[in-house]
Structure 1
Amino acid sequence: MNKIGYPQGSAPSGITPGGNPASRGQGLETDINDSNIWYRENGKCLVYKKPTPVQVVRVDYPSRQRARITEAYYKTPSTTDYNGVYKGRYLDFEAKETKNIRGFPLSMVHPHQIRHLEQVARHGGIGFFIIRFSSLQKTFLVDAMALIREMKACQHSSIPAAWFDANGVLLQESLYPRLAWLAAVDQLYFQT
């Protein structure tokens, strides 16, 4: 049996040596979180996952060390998944993953997320979506305003996957960073 020596001591989450490449990740957010840690540790950008605001209602205390939340609810709808700063610009983005091979369901993006990303653009920030078509094994970065315009013009319940091929940037996967979304940001927003 071959042993794999990873550069930082262990495999990134979601990588199983000898495993099926189609099932490498534990999900899109895990891949983004791992990439964000790598980007921060290497001084590339400062991006974090936003916490979801939760109101705790009831906690069970069988002992102090084993306290367990038994009832809670979301305070307000979350805006987007991630925000931070890169090259002096504010970044704000949403991650969505679908198994649908025909297209991206419009129902996956909520009205409050659209309003939020429109405000980000209005104030000069960079807003985008990272969309993974897990069945196609493709992940795209697409400008938020381009996707929102397409959603508003769409006559169907989903945007065809081919639209993302034409309008998004296909993200490369690697060991470090796991998902190279920052290169796509450079390509879309910082080309001179």
Structure 2
Amino acid sequence: MNGPLNWSSLVKFESQVRSISGRMRLVNTNLMKIKTVLGVTNYSFKRRMRLLRNELKTAESNLAKVEAKFKTAVDLGSDILQRLSSNSQLNGGETSSEVNPRRERKYLRSMIQASAPAVVGRHSDMQPPVYVSTEKPIRNRRITNLSLTSAHLPRGFGDAGNLNKSLVKITSMPRVASLVSY
């Protein structure tokens, strides 16, 4: 995996895991077919052996694909973990236990900004967007009011909310929202 760690890396990892689970379902189906073929008594012995050989080949092929996908997913996951651990040592040789929480929040916000979608809009299957200020927050202040009108918006933002005219759109996934809370 080349380039900076971002959400597309995590999405790719998730798709690898889903692919593995799909392949495992295929393997399970092949094994059930083998069990069925072994239990059939109406076919001749040669016919049953031919069917069994074919199903075994298919199961073997699917297992090889699962193994390859699993290796890819493991490699991708370990790469993500290595990048996260190296990124936790933020610009000063700090160990992960000595990371400045303020710096870490700033880094996470910049990582989210880098992976934010370029087009502002909604898809039918997406939750409403969350808007996060990129300006430096005042100490001990929580942002509670996002109910501004469309008069505050730059052109092209539709009728969504705006905060301090400096916004980043991210999908309102709980894990993302928790990363950017102050």
TM-score (norm 2): 0.27
Structure showing greater relative contact order (alpha-carbon pairs closer than 8 Å, 6 or more residues apart): 2
Q: Which has the higher helix share?
A: 2
> For the pair shown, which has the larger CA radius of gyration, 1 or 2?
2
TM-score (norm 1): 0.26
Q: Which has the higher strand share?
A: 1
